[in-house]
Amino acid sequence: MMYWIIFALFTTAETFTDIFLCWFPFYYELKIAFVAWLLSPYTKGSSLLYRKFVHPTLSSKEKEIDDCLVQAKDRSYDALVHFGKRGLNVAATAAVMAASKGQGALSERLRSFSMQDLTTIRGDSTPAPAGSPPPGAGRAGGKHGQPKMSRSASESAGSSGTA
């Protein structure tokens, strides 16, 4: 763990110093040697740097670090609640607006799909033309409250009455 802490600090410092030191002769070779020194179990470079510099600094600032963590936790919870409420309000408003604007078109489209499905269930092999409404659409029950008949029943009734 000491190696990774030191390596993270080295990588952070290297991000800023690379711009200015990359022209230095043997810069990249020195970086490789430094990382090898940190990683080597014989030299224990990362352990030496951690115990000499990082651990004493962290120990002396422990109380301040803990206070910052508690404040960050509280602020993050408050921010989560605040943005969660705003997100729910936006979603609710969008849903209400979509429902109020698109209710007629949506219900008509769903109705036409359901009538089309009913014609295929009844066994009609010839689908209705694209622009015409499905059979039986628009009639609530025929004339004078008589129940409406299916397409095949009305055709057979019409052909028997003309003969």
pLDDT score at 143: 46
| Per-residue pLDDT tens digits for 51-68 | 999 999 989 999 999 999
56 compared with 153, residue with greater pLDDT = 56
For range 3-28, the mean pLDDT:
90
For range 134-147, the mean pLDDT:
49
DSSP string, 66-89: HHHHHHHHHHHHHHHHHHHHHHHH
Q: What is the mean pLDDT of the chain?
A: 75
Whether this model's pTM surpasses 0.85: no
CA 157 and chain centroid, separation: 58
Q: Which of 35, 47, 29, 30 is nearest to 11 (CA)?
A: 35
**To which residue do tokens 């015409």 refer?**
132
**Could you tell me if 46 and 39 are in contact, meaning their C-beta atoms sit under 8 angstroms apart?**
yes
- Whether residue 136 is predicted with pLDDT greater than 60 in this model: the reply is no
* Helical axes 2-21 vs 27-39, angle rounded to 10°: 170
User: HEC profile for 14-59?
Assistant: HHHHHHHHCCCCCHHHHHHHHHHHHHCCCCCHHHHHHHHHHHHHHH
Give the tokens for residue 82: 């605040």
How far apart (Å, rounded) are the C-alpha atoms in residues 136 and 116?
10
5 Cβ contact partners less than 8 Å away, ≥ 6 residues apart: 46, 50, 54
Confidence of residue 92 (pLDDT cuts 50, 70, 90): confident
